[in-house]
Amino acid sequence: MDTPNQILMCSPKYYGIEYEINPWMNTERQADHQLAIRQWQSLKQIFEELGVQILELEPVAGLPDLVFTANAAMIHKQTAVVSSFRHVQRQGEEEHNEQWLLRHGFQLKYPPDDQYFEGAGDALFCGDTLFAGYRMRSDAAGLQDIGRMFGCRVIPLELVDTSYYHLDTCFCPLKAGQTIFYPAAFDSYGRKVLRELVDDLIEVDSEEARHFSCNAVVLGETVVTNEGCPKMCRQLKRRGYRVVETPLSEFVKAGGSAKCLTLRLDGEDAASWSAETEG
């Protein structure tokens, strides 16, 4: 019997726009808390109906962004590289992420002491290559150290638009050799490298990028994403994917969407090592 996919989520019980650390956040434009809870519950229900096992991180008062579990760590098999957050407002999350991962049997590793690294928000496998975003949140210097931990090739990608401050806001691997991306979020070198290394690059435009079209969750042939991305959805359907759209407007106000709200504990579908583990 196949082991179900596992996703870590955190209830938005204490979620809100309490500070401004990216261009989306505005403390005068608050999230509707009750609507955020309903949107999160709907997302969770979609995953459960797809057969995903949801594990939950306990929410903590004063840590509103703990809901964005993608930033907790980068997972590789049973090892987790625990995040070291750039902004002091999020550094309180680190001990809660660390303790949860320890309790659930992960071997913990850490980025170099003087380097910031924000987990699966900035480190995504496509095949056997780890694509890693840097500049806004994670530091370039520590990325190769993470590659050496796992014996994998790392391709650093400089992010140049502050609205797309984590790699997972502008880059979504679907499977080996195929990914969604927003070209303007990368410098010219990054765009060149992606076009050389990824066979099927599905480009999104600025309007759909602002609906966080790239911040999607891939579960086999199903892609779960925020609503408002019809052109991307058409491209995915032409390639045989089923697309499930769900409104996540209240999380977009903080600069996040479906992928930000999840951490795959069993490995993203596009990671070659994940498929090897299943086999």
Active site residues: 166, 260
The DSSP annotation for 38-102 comes to HHHHHHHHHHHHTTPEEEEEPP-TT-GGGG-GGGSEEEETTEEEE-B-SSHHHHTHHHHHHHHHH
Chain centroid to Cα 32, Å, comes to 23
Contact 171, 180 (CB under 8 A): yes
Give the C-alpha separation, 107 to 128, whole Å.
Answer: 21
The tokens for 247 are 């409104």
Residue 68 CA, chain-centre distance (Å), reads 8
What's the DSSP call for residue 132?
E
